[in-house]
Amino acid sequence: MTAETRSYPVTPRNRVKRMHERGSYDRDAGHAILDAAMLCHVAYVIDGQPYATPTLFWRKGDTLYWHGSSASRMLRHLKTGTPACLTVAHLDGLVLARSGFNHSANYRSAMCFGTARLVEDPDEKIEAMRDVVDRFYPERSALLRPITPQEAKATTIIAMPIDEAAAKVRAKGVGDDEEDFALPIWAGIIPVTTVLGTAQTCHRLIDGVEKPETLSIFPAEGRLDTALLAGQRLYEGG
Amino acid sequence: MTAETRSYPVTPRNRVKRMHERGSYDRDAGHAILDAAMLCHVAYVIDGQPYATPTLFWRKGDTLYWHGSSASRMLRHLKTGTPACLTVAHLDGLVLARSGFNHSANYRSAMCFGTARLVEDPDEKIEAMRDVVDRFYPERSALLRPITPQEAKATTIIAMPIDEAAAKVRAKGVGDDEEDFALPIWAGIIPVTTVLGTAQTCHRLIDGVEKPETLSIFPAEGRLDTALLAGQRLYEGG
């Protein structure tokens, strides 16, 4: 693997300006942040107005996918192929310092830039409709009632090859000014994690149907990011 | 309170198009989603390129605030006063249905539209620098080492009155097609919550300093959204 393929190019668009020491253009570092998430925010522009739309997304190689109904304002707009920015952020901790200025948060974020296009090829679209299930729930699409032509028609899938990306991470303790450490002020970190609860079986489930073993990547009290990373590894290996 | 002040106006910009039955323009409903969060994504445009930037934010009445260093690309741009969109999304559950099409997620989201402006008045800026501490950590700014003129100079605060907003919520069980409920396929909800860990005291804390009682709104294993809502109530009451 060459240096070119291990890192995203750095341009004025993705160069980390603020707290640049927290930035990285490494492809694997970016993928790890993306793959630990299910929810992203896509920024797009209509008539000069920016929108930040929250949506589920998934990664396949170096392409990001998201979907929605054809009625979606965002997706109708994106059909023409449009610059977009897909961002993921994980909040990992609250950082309480001895000055207001040094209060902070621990986080992992990735911003990805590219041109979003509509997936129009019918085979590519069906594959993507299976992928969105199997990426999150290993091997699940094979267990489901098949996709109908009406559902395929009512589904819009958007693809965006990542042209540039930047990851930004803060993962450390309190960063007070040296002279402030002597002050009698409590300081510390309050960790934040996103966790899974106990699965709630649909009350209309027919008798004798067990939860598939493949869903064991989502254990009660487990971390969501860990489960999603495990799912992505199975998806990429599959 | 009149109907005008209880709800945000509905325009082509904030009208909920996709799954419109999940949408609401009620002011209190929107505030409850915003106030349960610390992290938002702000969308803005530079030379036609959209950016979705993750950042901490807070609400004071019907104005949203966020901040960063003067070096930030986003904030330098926003100094001119620019249309922006600030979005919050909480992921509450994974919804596994009997068809791929009916897979979904439970969530609470709010998209807010307005014109972002730089806070330039020195008094307003100092007040905002105290607010960002006190909104999250009740009465904490009074305990801290005072803000220095250099810190005030190095801090950029952005304010955006909410002109329009839309909330969108899915909070229910599996929504399968009626005929699919008879299929022998496991379906259900995997709940997702964002929780607090045990506070980690800074290892350089001087002897005898106790954690302030006001931080008890952040109990170990408590929900982040509950803690932040409690903090906002104290901030608005103070």
pLDDT at A18: 78
Evaluate if residue A150 carries a pLDDT over 70: yes
Look at B32 and A118; give whichever has higher pLDDT.
Answer: B32
Q: Give the best residue of B15, B22, B44, B53 to mutate against chain A (max A CB count within 10 A).
A: B53
pLDDT at A54 over 70: yes
pLDDT tens for residues B53-109? 999 999 999 999 998 655 456 566 656 788 999 999 999 999 999 999 999 999 999
A3-192 placed in CATH 3.40.640.10: no
Candidates A145, A173, A215; nearest CB to B183:
A145
pLDDT over 90 at B228, yes or no: yes
Q: Could you tell me how many CB contacts below 8 A there are between chain A and chain B?
A: 285
Residue A219: how many CB atoms within 10 A of its CB? 15
Spell out which residues of chain A touch residue B48, defining contact as CB-CB under 8 Å: 45, 83
Instruction: State the best of B101, B150, B160, B225 to mutate against chain A, taking most chain A CBs within 10 Å.
Output: B101
Residue B67 has a pLDDT of: 81
Rounded to the nearest 5 degrees, what angle is found at the Cα of A116, between the Cα atoms of A112 and A121?
A: 135
* DSSP-assigned states of every residue in A97-140: -SBSTT-EEEEEEEEEEEEEEE---HHHHHHHHHHHHHHHSTT-
Average pLDDT of the residues in A44-60: 92
Question: Is a pLDDT exceeding 90 seen at residue B190?
Answer: yes
Residue B15 has pLDDT above 70, yes or no: yes
**Residue A12's pLDDT band (boundaries 50, 70, 90)?**
confident
Picking from B180, B163, B7, B234, the residue whose alpha carbon sits closest to that of residue A49 is B163
Quick check: B14 and B25 in contact, CB under 8 A?
A: yes
For the cut 70, the answer to whether the pLDDT of residue B1 exceeds it is no
CB contact under 8 A, A100 and B133: yes
* Weakest mean pLDDT among A54-58, A148-152, B9-13: B9-13
Q: What pLDDT does residue B165 have? A: 96
**pLDDT, tens digit (0-9, with 9 covering 90-100), for B37-47:** 999 999 988 88
Q: Given pLDDT bands bounded at 50, 70 and 90, which one contains residue A4?
A: low
- Tens of pLDDT, residues A85-115: 999 999 999 999 999 999 999 999 999 999 9
Q: How far is A228 from chain B (nearest CA, A)?
A: 12
Q: Is B43 exposed, middle or buried (0-12, 13-18, 19+ CB in 10 A)?
A: buried
| Chain A contact probe: residue of B76, B195, B204 with most A CBs at under 10 A | B204
Taking CB atoms within 8 Å and a gap of at least 24, the contacts of A70-78 are A70/A153, A70/A154, A70/A155, A70/A156, A71/B17, A71/B18, A72/A156, A72/B17, A72/B18, A73/A46, A73/B17, A73/B18, A74/A42, A74/A44, A75/A118, A75/A156, A75/A158, A77/A44, A77/A46, A78/A44, A78/A116, A78/A117, A78/A118, A78/A158
pLDDT at B5: 75
- Which of A96, A173, A195 shows the shortest C-beta gap to B137? A96
pLDDT at A75: 60
Q: Tokens representing B133?
A: 């501490």
pLDDT at B143 over 90: yes
Q: How confident is the model at residue B111 (pLDDT cuts 50, 70, 90)?
A: very high
**What is the rounded distance in angstroms from the CA atom of residue B4 to the CA atom of residue A186?**
44
Of A135-144, A180-189, B74-83, B202-211, the least confident: B74-83
Query: Where are the domains positioned within chain A?
Result: 3-192
Q: Which residues of A touch B184 (CB under 8 A)?
A: 206, 208-209
Instruction: For the domain covering B3-10+18-172+215-237, report its CATH number.
Output: 2.30.110.10
How far apart are the CA of B233 and the nearest CA of chain A, in angstroms? 19
Stated as kind and residue range, the H or E segment containing B49 is: strand B49-60
Minimal-distance CA residue of chain B relative to A192: B196
Is the pLDDT at A120 greater than 90, yes or no? no
